[in-house]
């Protein structure tokens, strides 16, 4: 597979007020040296706790915010050089968690979907809107003239997906797009997304805190912690064998379908450290039970692992170590 997106060493910093009465300004390194690829036709899942930089990464990809440092290459064109943000935005669409806030309450469903294509002067916006309504499972005869408040959350999210597809995007970023839906509706929307990806040859970046959902929909998974990538690899590989202790604790904290499969691993303790002053070396060292002196001193690089191709982790112990199940590594209490 060819890459659709190559993100190289992306950095995004935000100034924030801090200190007593917010008198000082500080810098949050929301995305701090993040590199990855998104292959054509794949779904890349991005996971991590809130504040890890996954939504900021998504906003950089769609050009909603400017890159401070680094580079995004979109299908061979360098963003901002060969290709403008305006051009890019047609090619990248985003679906957010809040299905209601994304829709104009005064537009009918048909007008909502047809609006983007009209502005962009794409052919037959209304025909396009009605076709897409059918594709996302909303009968145009019943839904075309309804308003957002007359729809359920699941139906509104189908409208948002149709609106995104109406722009003929190549990449669709789904940021917690099913997180507000009931479980049964969530499964329907996930299946719909899979079908649409096939039919339209789409590429997805799927951001979610829900590891079960990410595993279901993703070909590969990228794990972020405090603005950095700590692990990336094929979804099933990461699901079966997490190489990075942070990924392992995320999965251990996940509710399992199978009670026998539950581990003794305690869920991750505490909140992530303050991103204004992230820990030195490996940013996870303040919460990692495998941490040793080297961890606070040196930032581990993302390194290919011995097993499955395309599996990388940023951890000194993994790199020094075996093939490794953390349980097998002896550590002082």
Bridge partners, 223 (sequence order):
47, 231
Contact partner, 55, from ligand SF4, Mg ion, none, Cβ < 5-8 Å per class: Mg ion
- The least distance separating ligand SF4 from the CB of residue 280, rounded to whole angstroms, comes to 11
The rounded distance, in Å, linking the Cα atoms of 48 and 224 is 5
74: enclosing H helix or E strand: strand 69-74
Residue in 284, 302, 312, 326 binding ligand SF4, rule: CB under 6 A: 284
Name 45's Cβ contacts closer than 8 Å, sequence gap at least 6: 206, 207, 208, 214, 215, 217, 218, 220, 221, 222, 235
Q: Does 225 bind ligand SF4 (CB under 6 A)?
A: no
**What is the total count of residues that contact ligand SF4 (CB under 6 A)?**
13
Nearest residue (CB) to Mg ion, 172 versus 282: 172
Helices (DSSP H) in 148-244: which residue ranges? Answer: 153-165, 183-200, 211-217, 235-240
Residue in 48, 116, 125, 245 binding ligand SF4, rule: CB under 6 A: 245
Q: Does 52 bind ligand SF4 (CB under 6 A)?
A: no
Q: Does 316 bind ligand SF4 (CB under 6 A)?
A: yes
Nearest residue (CB) to ligand SF4, 74 versus 284: 284
- Residue 22: DSSP 8-state: G
CA-to-CA separations, 232 to 41, 48, 55, 209, 288, in angstroms, rounded: 18, 12, 17, 16, 19
Distance of CA 244 to the CA centre of its chain: 18
Q: Does 315 bind ligand SF4 (CB under 6 A)?
A: yes
Nearest residue (CB) to ligand SF4, 29 versus 283: 283
- The least distance separating ligand SF4 from the CB of residue 96, rounded to whole angstroms, comes to 31
Interface residues toward ligand SF4, by CB under 6 A: 244-245, 282, 284-285, 288, 290-291, 295, 300, 315-317
């Amino acid at each position: 597979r060819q890459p659709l997106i190559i993100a190289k060493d992306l950095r995004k910093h935000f100034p924030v007020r801090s200190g007593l009465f917010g008198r000082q300004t500080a810098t949050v390194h929301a995305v701090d040296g993040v590199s990855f690829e998104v292959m054509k036709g794949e779904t890349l899942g991005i996971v991590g706790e809130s504040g890890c930089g996954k939504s900021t990464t998504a906003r950089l990809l769609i050009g909603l915010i400017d890159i401070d440092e680094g580079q995004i290459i979109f299908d061979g064109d360098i963003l901002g050089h060969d290709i403008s943000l305006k051009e890019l935005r047609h090619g990248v669409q985003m679906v957010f968690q809040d299905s209601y806030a994304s829709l104009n309450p005064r537009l009918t469903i048909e007008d909502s979907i047809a609006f983007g294509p009209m502005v962009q002067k794409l052919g037959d916006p209304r025909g396009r809107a009605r076709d897409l309504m059918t594709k996302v499972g909303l009968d145009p005869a019943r839904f075309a003239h309804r308003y957002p408040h007359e729809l359920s959350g699941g139906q509104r999210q189908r409208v948002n997906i149709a609106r995104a597809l109406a722009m003929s995007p190549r990449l669709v970023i789904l940021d917690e797009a099913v997180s507000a839906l009931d479980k049964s509706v969530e499964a329907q929307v996930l299946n719909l997304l899979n079908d649409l990806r096939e039919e339209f040859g789409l590429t997805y970046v799927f951001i979610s805190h829900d590891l079960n959902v990410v595993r279901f929909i993703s070909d590969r998974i990228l794990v972020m912690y405090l603005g950095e990538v700590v692990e990336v690899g094929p979804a099933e590989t990461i699901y079966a064998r997490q190489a990075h202790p942070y990924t392992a604790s995320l999965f251990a904290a996940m509710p399992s379908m199978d009670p026998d499969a539950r581990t003794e691993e305690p869920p991750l303790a505490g909140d992530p450290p303050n991103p204004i002053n992230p820990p030195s070396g490996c940013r996870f060292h303040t919460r990692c039970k495998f941490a040793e002196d080297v961890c606070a001193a040196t930032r581990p690089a993302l390194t290919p692992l011995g097993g499955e191709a395309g599996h990388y982790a940023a951890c000194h112990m993994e790199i020094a170590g075996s093939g490794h199940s953390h349980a097998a590594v002896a550590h002082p209490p």
